[in-house]
Structure formats: C-alpha cells, structure tokens
Amino acid sequence: MDENSLSNLRKNYEKGELLEDKIHSNPFKQFSVWFEEVLNSNIYEPNAMILATASDNKPSARVVLLKGFDEIGFKFYTNYNSRKGQDLSVNPNAALLFYWMELERQVRIEGRIEKLSREESLEYFNSRPLESRYGALASNQSEIIPNREYLEKKFSELKEKYGFNPPMPENWGGFILKPNLFEFWQGRPSRLHDRIVYERTESNWKIYRLSP
C-alpha cells in the first residue's frame, strides 16, 4: 500500500459520547459500565488489553488478557521470567490499553504493578483448562528454542509425566496493576473526540477533560 492510500484511510466516529454529567465519579465504576457494554456487544476477545512496560529506557508492548478487576486493580497472569516479567521486576510502572473499535472506545490505565499471592495464582492456575496448564508448564516464555518440535515434544512429555494434575510452575503467576490514572476515550465526529481523565490524588480522583 502506498503512502497516499494510507493517508486516505478515514473513518468518522459517531457511535457515542462521553459527557461529564453522565459519568461516575469513581473510574472503576465507569470502567465497569463500559466493560459490561462491551460484553453485551459480543466483541471478540473483549478482555484483550495491551500491556506496556519498560526497562533500561527500552519500551515494550504486547497483548495480554485481563483476568479480573476490582477497585484495587487489574489482574493478569504470565511467566515471571518473560520479557514483561523481567521488565516489571526492575520497573513496576506500567500502562494498559483497552481498544474496542466496534464501540469506538479506548481506555488507557497507568499505575504500578505488584505480584499476586502464590495462593491466588494457584487458585487461578487450577481453574484453567488442562491444556492451558500444560502450555504454561511447557513454555519458558520469551526463551529462545530450536524449533516448534522441541516445544511440542516437551508438552507431550509433561502430559505423560503428570497426567491430569500438572503442577503450577514456580516462575508463573499473577500481577495486579494498581491505577493512578485512567483516560476514557470516545470517538466523536470531526475528530472532536471525548477524552476524560481520572487522576488519583491523596484522597480522591481528580476528573478533567483533555483536548482531542
């Protein structure tokens, strides 16, 4: 595709609005409202989110799946030795991005990440489908491997060894991002998008609008 073709790709957003008199004062409740609407819209992978981390001044981003949230934070699970796990071990500041193009919405969330307890991680691990548990056990995520056959052989050997009760890897578990900033974005006509920010203060949340 040439540059002119790209520059002519345009879409006029007109599926919603985000006004100060119609939002919750609590960003977690506002997120819950939007997420419920996402679930009711039958969007594919509604809990997919981009996780951005950084270490040594080198940013890195990837898609992970949200596996729980409450008024403390947003949870996901991974291999602690992965690139993201290593980034977070030296720099716990991170950002999440949800993009629901069908509703012309996105939510940015910034905060600090902490590990979940071993007990909570184990409870979630044991709730996963058996094949997914073996996937976590077989994969030393982000490690260089010789080929796919190596991974599939390891997967089969572990299944033969552990049967229906694979152990949770020692280097696998959950993280929780505890937010200090939310930005809710709603696409609007003429590129005059709505951007509402919630910024944590010592006692509450400060709410303000950004220019698009």
**One of 191, 195, 200, 209 is an active-site residue; which one?**
191
Q: pTM of the prediction?
A: 0.93
Angle formed by the axes of helices 118-127 and 130-138, to 10°?
130
What values do phi and psi take at 105, rounded to 5?
-135, 150
Question: pLDDT confidence of 2, banded at 50, 70, 90?
Answer: low
For 22-75, write each residue's pLDDT tens digit: 999 999 999 999 999 999 999 999 999 999 999 999 999 999 999 999 999 999
Clarify whether 188 is annotated catalytic: no
Alpha helix ranges (H) inside 41-145: 83-90, 118-127, 130-138
For 132-160, write each residue's pLDDT tens digit: 999 999 998 888 999 999 999 999 999 99
- In which element (H, E) is residue 173 found? strand 172-186
What values do phi and psi take at 84, rounded to 5?
-65, -40
Per the DSSP assignment, residues forming a β-bridge with 109 are 96, 182
Higher per-residue confidence, 153 vs 12: 153
Looking at CATH, the fold of the domain delimited by 12-209 is given as Pnp Oxidase; Chain A (2.30.110)
Q: Measured between alpha carbons, how far is 176 from 80 in angstroms, rounded to an integer?
A: 13
Per the DSSP assignment, residues forming a β-bridge with 49 are 64
